Amino acid sequence: MCGGYVANAGDSDLIIEGVVTDSRKITPGCLFIPLAGERFDGHDFAGDCLQAGAAAVLWAAPKETPPGPGIIVEDTLEAMQALAKSYLAACGTKVVGITGSNGKTTTKDLVFSLLATTFKVHKTQGNFNNHIGLPLTILAMPKDSDVAVLEMGMSGRHEIELLSKLAEPETAIVTNIGEAHLLQLGSRLEIARAKLEILSGMKQGGLFVYNGDEPLIKEVLAEPATVKPDGLEMMTFGLGGANDDYPSGIMFMEDKTVFTSRSGGSTPLELPLLGEHNVVNALAALAVARHYGVSEANIAEGLSRVKLTGMRIETVVGTSGITILNDAYNSSPIAVKAAIGVLEKKRGYRKKIAVLGDMLELGAAEEDFHREVGRFLTPEKVDLLFTYGPLSEKIAEGAAERLEPGTIFAYHDKSELIEMLISMLHSKDVLLVKASRGMKLEEVVDAVKNSSLER
């Protein structure tokens, strides 16, 4: 299954239960797969793993023989990917592949919640969406799974191609084309080309569900170089009325969003998520659920009980009673504007406050992108703005064009930001926190959440 051969295993069969790549997380009977990374080489821990109960190890051929039962392979990562591909084929599980600049994880959770009303479904945990995370997700899948909902991430060309050819999706979603990873791709057109690599591994006769509001997707679909499977069925979703599905009505409430759509007619659907962008994500998930025959009753049920992976516009109530919109998982211009849209619609709070940190990997125009986000802010959207990081000084600069003096506070030091923020917050405020993963603004969320804000 992984293109290797057995060594040191005697003549008894070895029963293997599960795959592990971290020696600190060994489970009895697992296969330990040593990976060479930036800081460690997993091969150095193989002996300890066998001592700790691993049944066998993969072992890269150029090294000396394995310290116990082993499968000798050329490259352990490639072997793990091949093993995942073989296992998926052996299980006969259908795959839904999801990519896009924003909303992959959210849409993955939505698709899972809808399909799980009807099928045995496995999904990506957290953000395990790359050349290591996706095969690990597959290798953790129960073998009787009907469907696997797999998030596919990238920050360069041909990364999605590898994932798609490994997982061979029957259904694929592209959520949108934003600015994330512009640094590596150079243009949004290149980002679109990278995302549409998801078509290259799809099964024949598959379904492609994509954001019809994004012209670059249609442009790349028409390019001769774009590899598409035979018999591909396509569906569009988005806010525009030209899409196959779009919202016909949206009601923004404190802890949920109620919407009707072209596909659902006059029947309102309740989504326990905030923001117009999450209605758009939900439309993509609805298309997939209906494609697989999920009933309208189960669709309503599945939507109403979706559980989102944390730090995606997650509402947190602090010990003081303050409302925090924890959107600190990641950030990019489109995502910030979507999150500000949620804050803008909040009513009944003393003040609306935003803490915005650097958006990373945006390439040469990064300062302009930050300035543009600042200019997007108006007194109707935020009462106070705190920025964190060197790039976010440009958010403050852009915001100064529309926000009053004395309402903008720029910081480079997180502890100083937290101190000033807590001194100005009130339990009746609503606070949005958003930045790229590398800024770790969850530390701000935790500090505010645990503060009594007494005054």
Ligand X SMILES: Nc1ncnc2c1ncn2[C@@H]1O[C@H](COP(=O)(O)OP(=O)(O)OP(=O)(O)O)[C@@H](O)[C@H]1O
Sign of the dihedral defined by the CA atoms of residues 340, 342, 348, 354, in that order: negative
Interaction partner, residue 316 (ligand X, ligand LVM2DEV6, ligand LIQMQMZN, none; CB < 5-8 Å by kind): none
Q: Is 104 annotated as a binding residue?
A: yes
Strand 56-60 versus strand 31-32 pairing type: parallel
Of residues 159 and 245, the one with the C-beta less far from ligand LIQMQMZN: 159
Closest chain position to ligand LIQMQMZN (CB): 37
CA–CA separation, 432 and 257 (whole Å): 18
Burial grade of 39 (CB within 10 A; 0-12, 13-18, 19 or more) = exposed
Chain residues 135-174 in contact with ligand LVM2DEV6, contact rule CB under 6 A: 155
Shortest Å, Cβ 312 to ligand X: 4
Shortest Å, Cβ 308 to ligand LIQMQMZN: 15
Six-digit token string for 386: 């705190």
CA–CA separation, 238 and 281 (whole Å): 9
What residues make contact with ligand LIQMQMZN under the rule CB under 6 A? 21-24, 35, 37-40, 42, 45, 126-130, 132-133, 136, 153-156, 159
Name which position in 262, 402, 414, 437 contacts ligand LVM2DEV6 (CB under 6 A).
Answer: 437
Interaction partner, residue 175 (ligand LIQMQMZN, ligand X, ligand LVM2DEV6, none; CB < 5-8 Å by kind): ligand X
Name which of 237, 180, 190 is nearest 214 in CA terms: 237
Interaction partner, residue 360 (ligand X, ligand LVM2DEV6, ligand LIQMQMZN, none; CB < 5-8 Å by kind): ligand LVM2DEV6
Sign of the dihedral defined by the CA atoms of residues 279, 158, 134, 83, in that order: positive
For position 133 contacting ligand X by CB under 6 A, the verdict is no
- For residue 354, the Cα-to-chain-centroid distance in whole angstroms is 22
**Phi-psi map region of 33: left, alpha, beta (phi>0 left; psi -120 to 50 alpha):** beta
For position 105 contacting ligand LVM2DEV6 by CB under 6 A, the verdict is no
Q: Is 102 annotated as a binding residue?
A: yes
CA–CA separation, 299 and 118 (whole Å): 10
CA–CA separation, 351 and 336 (whole Å): 19
Shortest Å, Cβ 385 to ligand LIQMQMZN: 26
What is the contact surface with ligand X in residues (CB under 6 A)? Answer: 100, 102-106, 127, 153, 175-176, 180, 277, 280-281, 312-313, 327, 329-330, 334-335, 338-339
